[in-house]
């Protein structure tokens, strides 16, 4: 008799190895360097084994990595806000978001820039996306979605401009304070 829990554990370990290898390669060389062939070689499996775990290949792997990124971003934002309210909460979540985007540029790219099949701003979107959106909405005290969408858009734009070196780093505090003044309650 086969131990199904051991089999499930091995399956999850292989999936994790594949995802970790993809993320490491993207961090080092960008998503263009991530291929199923490279991933299979780097973890010591064949491509058919990789496709057995991710039938959609590279796009499914990137989508899975991106969804995990949304969970990480949500946790970071929620932790940064803690019990803060008003302007302090908005500032804390803005800094957490911008730091995340800067520290995890390949992951952030997968989350927001690569063509993935994820649904934003819809009631039936993935739970990971909804949780990230809710973390921002709570910091704003926004019962609706419009202000949160604008805030998220502002943060996304700032993160891209910061990462490309088009914003003066020494002015980040002022930008965050201005956002908080406009979006804080």
Domains of the chain: 1-55 (1.10.10), 62-183 (1.10.357.10)
d(CA 63, CA 143): 29
Alpha-helix residue ranges (DSSP H) falling in 113-145: 127-140
Burial annotation 63-93 (CB, 10 A radius, 16+ → b, else e) = bbbbbbbbeebbebbbebbeeeeeeebbbbb
pTM over 0.85: yes
Please work out, in degrees rounded to the nearest 5, the angle formed at the alpha carbon of residue 145 by the alpha carbons of 140 and 146: 90
Q: How far is CA 185 from the centre of its chain?
A: 26
Q: Is 118 left (phi over 0), alpha (psi -120 to 50) or beta?
A: beta
Taking only the tens place, the pLDDT of each residue in 94-137 is 999 999 999 999 999 999 888 877 666 566 778 888 888 889 99
Each residue's pLDDT tens digit, 134-156? 899 999 987 778 899 999 999 99
């Amino acid at each position: 008799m086969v131990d199904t829990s051991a089999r499930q554990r091995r399956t999850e370990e292989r999936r994790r190895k594949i995802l970790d290898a993809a993320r490491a390669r993207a961090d080092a060389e960008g998503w263009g360097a991530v291929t199923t062939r490279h991933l299979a070689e780097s973890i010591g499996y064949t491509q058919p084994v990789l496709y057995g775990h991710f039938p959609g290949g590279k796009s499914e792997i990137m989508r899975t990595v991106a969804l995990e990124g949304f969970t990480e971003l949500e946790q970071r934002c929620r932790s940064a806000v803690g019990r803060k309210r008003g302007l302090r909460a908005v500032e804390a979540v803005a800094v957490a978001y911008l730091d995340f985007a800067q520290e995890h540029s390949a992951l952030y790219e997968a989350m927001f820039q690569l063509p993935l099949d994820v649904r934003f701003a819809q009631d039936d979107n993935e739970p990971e996306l909804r949780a990230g959106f809710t973390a921002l909405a709570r910091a704003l005290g926004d019962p609706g979605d419009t202000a949160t969408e604008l805030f998220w858009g502002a943060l996304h734009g700032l993160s891209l401009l910061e990462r490309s070196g088009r914003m003066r780093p020494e002015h980040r505090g002022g930008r965050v304070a201005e956002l908080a003044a406009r979006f804080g309650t």
